[in-house]
Amino acid sequence: MFFESKSLARKLAVLTFLGVSLVCQFKQVDAFVCLKRAILGSFATYVICTLIVKTVNALVFNAIINKQLREQTGRGNDDKD
C-alpha cells in the first residue's frame, strides 16, 4: 500500500534529466547550460517527489491508524452495554 519514495524519485529524476537534455539539444542550447539545467531539474524533481510520496504515505498511515482506533473504541463501547 505504501510507496517507496527513493526508487520512484530516482526514476522520475532520470526521466526529467533525459527530457530536459533532449529539449535543450533540440533548441540548440549550449551543452554546459543544458547540463546545468538538466541536473537542477532532476535534483528538484527528486526532492519534490520524495517529499510528496512521504507526505502521502504519512497521510495513509495516519488514516489506517485512526480507522483501527475507531474500530477498537467502537467494539469497546459495545462490550460495556
Q: Phi/psi class of residue 4: alpha, beta or left (left: φ > 0; alpha: ψ in -120 to 50)?
A: beta
Length of the chain in terms of residues written: 81
Taking the model in full, what pTM does it have? 0.77
pLDDT at 20: 93
- Longest alpha-carbon distance in the chain: 77
For residues 50 and 6, the answer to whether their CB atoms sit within 8 Å is yes
What integer pLDDT is reported at residue 43 of this predicted model? Answer: 96
Q: Quote the pLDDT of residue 38.
A: 94
| pLDDT tens track for 21-69 | 999 989 998 999 999 999 999 999 999 999 999 999 999 999 999 999 9
* pLDDT score of 77 more than 80: no
Each domain of the chain, given as residue ranges in start order, spans 5-80
Q: What type of residue sits at position 31?
A: A
